[in-house]
C-alpha cells in the first residue's frame, strides 16, 4: 500500500511540474523572425561578378600535396579584384596561406576576419559547371560559392570600400585565409605562428561555421543568425582485425571482416556514447525554441523538466540533434583482401569521431577500445583532439557581434550555435578567447545541402549583408 501512495505522490508532483511548464509557456508569447533578404541590384551585380571570378579558379585542396603554385594563381585574381587591399595593407604569404595587416590607430583590440580559400572536389552532374562561376537565376553557381569564397569576398570587399573612403580603423585589422582547411591541414597554424611571432593576441576572431540559416530546425520558420560558440573535437581511429588468412573455398568462421561487421552492428544497435544537454546546447535550444510552435516552446524551453525525455527520443528522430548531445562515431573507410578468392590476414576499419565536451577523446576512445576488445579487434589512435573552449556569450566580443548583427540585419534573431564540424578557428583559440564561428551570409535549406554536394550556389542578395557586416565590425571595434 505504501508503494501505491508513493507512486500516486510522484505522479501528482510530476503533473504539478508539467502544469507549471505549461503555464510558463503560455505566458511567454511566441516570437517571430522578422528579417528577410533585401535586394540592392547594383551592389549585387558588383559583388556577384567578383565572387564569380573567384569561383572560376579551381582551388581544390588535397591532403599531403603541395599546391602553393595553384593558390598563388588565386592570389593574382584577388589582387585584380581588390587592388586597394593589396596596395595599402601589409601582405604575408606562407605556403599559399594569406595574412593581411591593416594598421589601425591602436593595436590593443585587433580583430581577425577569416575564411579559407580551398574547396572540396566537385563530382557528379551539375546544372552549371562547378568552376563556371555562372551568374544565373539570381545566384552565383559553383564550388566555393557558398563554402566559402562568398565570405572571403565579403571581408576583402569591406576593407576595399573602407579604404576607398579614406577610413582608418581604430584597431588593427587582420585578414586571414588558409588553403588547407578542407583537408584539416596546417595552413592556418602557420598564420597563427606568424601572429605569435608578432606578439599579436586578437580581441575577436570571426570565422565561418555558423551563418544566417533558413529554418535551422524543422518547425522553426524564418531566418536565424546561428553564431557558433563551441566546436566539437575530432579524432580518427583505425580498427584492425587479424587472422591467418586462407583460401575462400574453405572459409573459417569469425574472419576479420566478420568481426569488424559485428563491431559495427553492436555499436549501431546500441550507441554507448553518453547523451547530455551541455550548457551551450541548452542555451541554443532555449534561444531558438522561443520562435517555434507551442510544443517546441514547451519541450525545449523547459529542459529542466523534459530534458531526460528528449535525450531518449531525439537521437532516433534527428541525427543532427543527436550530434549535439554526444560524441558521434562515423564508419568511413574499410579495407580487406586484395583478391576476391583470398581471405584477408588483416581487415581494417577507420572511424571518425567528433568529441563532445562531456565525453572527450580519452573517455570516448576507451569506450571504442572496450567494445573492440570484445571482438578481438586492435585500436590505433591516428589523431585526436578535444572540443574547443566555448565562447563566453556575456563577453564584450560576443556582444559586439550580436550588436552588429542587429544593426546590419534588423529583426534577425541571434542564437548561440554548437559546431559539430571543424573550422580553422580552432587554431586561433591558442591566442584568442573569442573565436566566433559566423559567416554573415544567408543560406536557404537547399543551399545548405549544396555545400560539399552538387549544384552549390549562393543568392546574390546574400552578398551585400556580408560586406556590410564586416564594415560594421571594423567600425564598431573601438
Q: How confident is the model at residue 6 (pLDDT cuts 50, 70, 90)?
A: confident
The C-alpha atoms of residue 213 and residue 280 are separated, in whole angstroms, by 19
- For the segment 338-343, the average pLDDT, to the nearest whole number, is 88
Classify domain 41-231+388-476 by CATH number.
3.40.630.10
| Per-residue pLDDT, 2 | 72
What digits encode the pLDDT tens for the residues 268-289? 999 999 999 999 999 999 999 9
Of 339-348, 356-365, 398-407, the poorest mean pLDDT is in 339-348
| Per-residue pLDDT, 152 | 98
| Per-residue pLDDT, 82 | 98
Set of cell numbers at residue 20? 507549471
Q: What is the mean pLDDT of the chain?
A: 94
| Per-residue pLDDT, 7 | 75
Give kind and range of the element (H or E) at residue 353. Answer: strand 346-355
Q: How confident is the model at residue 103 (pLDDT cuts 50, 70, 90)?
A: very high
Class level of CATH domain 233-385: alpha beta
State percent of the chain over pLDDT 90. 83
Does a cis peptide bond (omega within 30 degrees of 0) precede residue 148? Answer: yes
Reply yes or no on whether the pLDDT at 1 is more than 70. no
Q: How far is CA 93 from CA 55, 97, 116, 163, 423, in A?
A: 20, 6, 14, 21, 20
How does DSSP classify residue 461? G
| Per-residue pLDDT, 12 | 83
Most confident residue range from 20-34, 140-154, 211-225, 300-314: 140-154
| Per-residue pLDDT, 11 | 81
Of 167-181, 295-309, 365-379, 389-403, the poorest mean pLDDT is in 295-309
What digits encode the pLDDT tens for the residues 23-55? 888 988 889 999 999 899 999 999 999 999 999
Reply yes or no on whether the pLDDT at 77 is more than 80. yes
| Per-residue pLDDT, 471 | 98
The C-alpha atoms of residue 247 and residue 265 are separated, in whole angstroms, by 26
Residues 271/326, Cβ–Cβ less than 8 Å: yes
- For the segment 71-94, the average pLDDT, to the nearest whole number, is 98
- Give start-end residues of each CATH 3.40.630.10 domain in the chain: 41-231+388-476
Parallel, antiparallel or unpaired: strands 171-177 and 97-102: antiparallel
Reply yes or no on whether the pLDDT at 315 is more than 80. yes
Assessment of whether the complete model's pTM goes beyond 0.85: yes
Q: How confident is the model at residue 450 (pLDDT cuts 50, 70, 90)?
A: confident
Question: Torsion angle of alpha carbons 411, 436, 471, 407, nearest 10°?
Answer: 20
Of 111-120, 311-320, 353-362, 465-474, the poorest mean pLDDT is in 311-320
The C-alpha atoms of residue 407 and residue 323 are separated, in whole angstroms, by 32
Set of cell numbers at residue 47? 559583388
Burial class for 18, CB neighbours closer than 10 Å (0-12, 13-18, 19+): middle
Rg, C-alpha atoms of the chain: 25
- For the segment 62-90, the average pLDDT, to the nearest whole number, is 96
Q: How confident is the model at residue 57 (pLDDT cuts 50, 70, 90)?
A: very high
- Give start-end residues of each CATH 3.30.70.360 domain in the chain: 233-385
Cα–chain center distance at 382: 22
Reply yes or no on whether the pLDDT at 334 is more than 90. yes
Q: How confident is the model at residue 20 (pLDDT cuts 50, 70, 90)?
A: confident
Q: How confident is the model at residue 247 (pLDDT cuts 50, 70, 90)?
A: low
| Per-residue pLDDT, 18 | 83
Amino acid at each position: 500500500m505504501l508503494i501505491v501512495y508513493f507512486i500516486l505522490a510522484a505522479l501528482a508532483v510530476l503533473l504539478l511540474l508539467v502544469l507549471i511548464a505549461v503555464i510558463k509557456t503560455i505566458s511567454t508569447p511566441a516570437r517571430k523572425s522578422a528579417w528577410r533578404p533585401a535586394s540592392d541590384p547594383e551592389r549585387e551585380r558588383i559583388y556577384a561578378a567578383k565572387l564569380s571570378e573567384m569561383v572560376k579558379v579551381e582551388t581544390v585542396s588535397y591532403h599531403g600535396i603541395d599546391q602553393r603554385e595553384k593558390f598563388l594563381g588565386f592570389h593574382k585574381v584577388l589582387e585584380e579584384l581588390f587592388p586597394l587591399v593589396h596596395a595599402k595593407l601589409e601582405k604575408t604569404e606562407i605556403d599559399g596561406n594569406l595574412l593581411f595587416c591593416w594598421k589601425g590607430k591602436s593595436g590593443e583590440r585587433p580583430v581577425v576576419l577569416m575564411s579559407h580559400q580551398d574547396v572540396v572536389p566537385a563530382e557528379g552532374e551539375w546544372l552549371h559547371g562547378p568552376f563556371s562561376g555562372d551568374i544565373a537565376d539570381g545566384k552565383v553557381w559553383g564550388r566555393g560559392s557558398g563554402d566559402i569564397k562568398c565570405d572571403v569576398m565579403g571581408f576583402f570587399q569591406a576593407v576595399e570600400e573602407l579604404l576607398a573612403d579614406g577610413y582608418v580603423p581604430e584597431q588593427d585589422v587582420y585578414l586571414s585565409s588558409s588553403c588547407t582547411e578542407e583537408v584539416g591541414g596546417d595552413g592556418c597554424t602557420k598564420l597563427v605562428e606568424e601572429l605569435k611571432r608578432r606578439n599579436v593576441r586578437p580581441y575577436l576572431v570571426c570565422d565561418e561555421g555558423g551563418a544566417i540559416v533558413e529554418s535551422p530546425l524543422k518547425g522553426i520558420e524564418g531566418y536565424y543568425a546561428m553564431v557558433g560558440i563551441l566546436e566539437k573535437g575530432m579524432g580518427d581511429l583505425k580498427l584492425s582485425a587479424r587472422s591467418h588468412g586462407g583460401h575462400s573455398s574453405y572459409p573459417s568462421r569469425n574472419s576479420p571482416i566478420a568481426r569488424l561487421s559485428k563491431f559495427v552492428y553492436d555499436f549501431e544497435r546500441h550507441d554507448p556514447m553518453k547523451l547530455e544537454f551541455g550548457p551551450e546546447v541548452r542555451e541554443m535550444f532555449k534561444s531558438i525554441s522561443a520562435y517555434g510552435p507551442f510544443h517546441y516552446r514547451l519541450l525545449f524551453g523547459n529542459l529542466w523538466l523534459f530534458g531526460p525525455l528528449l535525450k531518449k527520443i531525439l537521437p532516433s528522430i534527428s541525427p543532427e540533434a543527436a550530434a549535439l548531445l554526444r560524441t558521434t562515431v562515423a564508419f568511413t573507410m574499410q579495407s580487406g583482401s586484395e583478391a576476391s578468392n583470398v581471405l584477408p590476414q588483416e581487415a581494417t576499419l577507420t572511424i571518425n569521431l567528433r568529441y563532445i565536451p562531456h565525453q572527450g577523446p580519452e573517455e570516448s576512445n576507451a569506450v571504442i577500445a572496450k567494445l573492440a576488445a570484445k571482438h578481438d579487434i586492435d585500436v590505433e589512435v591516428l589523431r585526436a583532439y578535444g572540443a574547443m573552449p566555448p565562447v563566453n556569450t556575456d563577453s564584450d566580443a560576443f556582444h559586439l557581434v550580436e550588436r552588429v548583427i542587429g544593426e546590419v540585419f534588423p529583426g534577425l534573431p541571434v542564437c548561440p550555435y554548437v559546431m559539430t564540424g571543424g573550422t580553422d578557428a580552432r587554431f586561433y583559440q591558442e591566442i584568442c578567447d573569442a573565436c566566433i564561428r559566423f559567416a554573415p551570409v544567408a543560406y536557404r535549406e537547399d543551399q545548405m545541402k549544396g555545400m560539399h554536394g552538387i549544384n552549390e550556389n549562393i543568392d546574390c542578395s546574400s552578398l551585400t549583408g556580408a560586406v556590410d557586416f564586416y564594415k560594421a565590425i571594423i567600425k564598431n571595434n573601438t
